[in-house]
Amino acid sequence: MSIGCMVGWPRSPSNTKFSIASLYKVNEVTFIKGRIDENLRLTLAYGFEPTPSQVVVAMETSLDGSSKSSGGGLTFEISN
């Protein structure tokens, strides 16, 4: 399991950024990620690498705790 944190503060204090995230490797090819930010936006993702190359497929959902809205998506990533 990996845990990370991001903090940013520009000159105007109303734009302060903060988020904390975690990545859990279920096995060699499958992972689960979660992140929450300063606006109580929770993002969850489940992904896998279908081949031993640089291909990643991930499904993601985003829940906004402050406005009761949500979204989602499917990601297909190829990197080299």
Amino acid at 18: F
User: Which pLDDT belongs to residue 79?
Assistant: 63
50 phi, psi to nearest 5 deg: -70, -20
Residue 38, pLDDT score: 87
pTM: 0.69
- What length does the chain have? 80
**What backbone torsions phi and psi does residue 69 show, to the nearest 5 degrees?**
-110, 160
- What tens digit of pLDDT does each residue of 41-72 get? 888 888 888 777 777 888 888 888 777 666 77
Q: Cα(29)–Cα(17) distance, rounded to whole angstroms?
A: 31
Q: What is the token pair recorded at 19?
A: 């988020």
C-beta of residue 47 within 8 angstroms of C-beta of residue 41: no
Domain extents in the chain: 2-78
